[in-house]
Amino acid sequence: MPETASITTTGTASTATTGAASGKVTDAEFPVARGCPFSTPAEYEQIREHSPIAKVRLTTGREAWWIAGHELGRAVLADRRFSSDRRRDNFPFVSTDPETRKQLQDQPTSMLGMDGAEHAQTRRALMGEFTVRRMAGLRPRIQQIVDQHIDEMLSSEQRSADLVEALSLPVPSLVICELLGVPYADHDFFQGLTGPLLRHTTPPEARGRIQEELNTYLGTLIDRKLTDPTDDLLGRQIAKQHAAGTFDRTSLVSMAFLLLVAGHETTANMISLGVVGLLQHPDQLAMIKNDPEKTPPAVEELLRYFTIADTVTARVATEDVQLGDTTINAGDGVVISGLAADHDPTVFTDPDRIDLERGARHHVAFGFGPHQCIGQTLARMELQIVFDTLFRRIPTLRLAAPLDDIPFKSDAFVYGAEKLPVAW
């Protein structure tokens, strides 16, 4: 289906009854804080009542279009007239501070911020590292890593732990380090840096410093691998570029940065939230405990329900685009809210209920269109292994604090839990 046709269809099918589609329906500043993991912001519902798209004010003071419908969201994410280039004016959430903007302009963009042919070329150089077959080959090692961390939990005498520290964070962190060829011994160093980087509230100066520190670290690592080749993802990319005479240190640094950050923070947060979700729904947890074949669809539902990277899917229109009754002007910022799309009641019946058997694979938790998560097969596998193994080996696992006392990351680009006290 041509991209434009699918968008027009969406607009026509929308429930817009007034001119509200092009006006503001809420005074809230976006992104609105996400509180409890079991509720979505009321503003999303407010927007959806009028139309799948509305103009909102962002915390940066600028305005942007907010898309809260699943079908329209997917259509826009697949539409090449919307750019992912974070250096463009009006790109949502990017600071309006001139100094920060200059820093951003000077920095090489990763695959995340590329468009069209440049994006395709960069992604294609990396795609072979993430095939379903290659990822399946990692399964035994991931199982081993998960088992080792659960062994450690079980060997503690107090029969309690912070799950984030004991399992959620170290497992994906170790997996991505081994895959990339980043020494795991350095994980404290980069985890301490990437955490603040993912928060809305981290000031621009601090952000710049952190970015610089990580770039220096990864640059040194890449230099070392150029001299002493290693058989890991970074090593193979370096060798490939070196052999072709296209060695580009700067782009390798930004690629390594993207994979490292995306590879552990996201999965870690999904592990913690998934465990909370399952423990709060014991009847459904029992179902996957009894039949591990139900775990893969259960993981899809948990991905949908929590959609942790709600606002990473943002774009800027490169030309005027008509979305139903709404005209998006060239240069307008657009946020395709993944969480809102994945709680769209016209696509997911009773969306605020966790239903592990609903069949939720059409969620957009990994995004949609040409930028859809390159590591999704790895993430799915890690989540499946963790949930299966954790509840099999520690069947009496329970939360050791009331839900209200668990610190959730309400101000982060990637939602999750800061700490997760559990006991058994």
Query: Contact residues for other proteins (CB under 8 A)?
Result: 1, 77-78, 120, 123-124, 127-133, 135, 361-362, 366-370, 372-374, 376-377, 380
Indicate the burial class of 65 (C-beta count within 10 angstroms; 0-12, 13-18, 19 or more).
buried
The phi, psi pair for 35, rounded to 5°, reads: -85, -105
Three-class SS of residue 409?
Answer: coil
Which tokens hold the place of 93?
């959430």
Find the shortest distance in angstroms from Cβ 111 to other proteins: 11
Vertex 293: Cα angle to 292 and 297 (nearest 5): 105
Residue reference for tokens 């709060």: 280
Nearest to 399 by CA among 176, 162, 62: 162
Find the shortest distance in angstroms from Cβ 378 to other proteins: 10
Q: Under 8 Å CB-to-CB from 223, ≥6 apart: which residues? A: 249
Return the number of the residue (370 or 421) whose C-beta is nearest other proteins: 370
Asked if 404 contacts 162 with a C-beta cutoff of 8 angstroms, the reply is: no
Find the shortest distance in angstroms from Cβ 296 to other proteins: 9
Q: Under 8 Å CB-to-CB from 46, ≥6 apart: which residues? A: 25, 26
Give the DSSP H or E segment for 379. Answer: helix 376-393
Distance CA 100, CA 408 (A): 28
Asked if 260 contacts 194 with a C-beta cutoff of 8 angstroms, the reply is: yes
Nearest to 317 by CA among 49, 85, 5: 85
Three-class SS of residue 53?
Answer: strand
- Distance from the first to the final alpha carbon of the chain: 52
The phi, psi pair for 368, rounded to 5°, reads: -155, 165
Find the shortest distance in angstroms from Cβ 136 to other proteins: 10
Find the shortest distance in angstroms from Cβ 370 to other proteins: 5
Find the shortest distance in angstroms from Cβ 127 to other proteins: 3
Q: What is the DSSP letter of 293?
A: G
Distance CA 184, CA 318 (A): 41
Distance CA 251, CA 238 (A): 11
Return the number of the residue (136 or 330) whose C-beta is nearest other proteins: 136
Return the number of the residue (47 or 142) whose C-beta is nearest other proteins: 142
Asked if 78 contacts 323 with a C-beta cutoff of 8 angstroms, the reply is: no
Amino acid of residue 100: T
> Given CA atoms 26, 29, 30, 35 in this order, what sign does their dihedral have?
negative
Find the shortest distance in angstroms from Cβ 246 to other proteins: 17
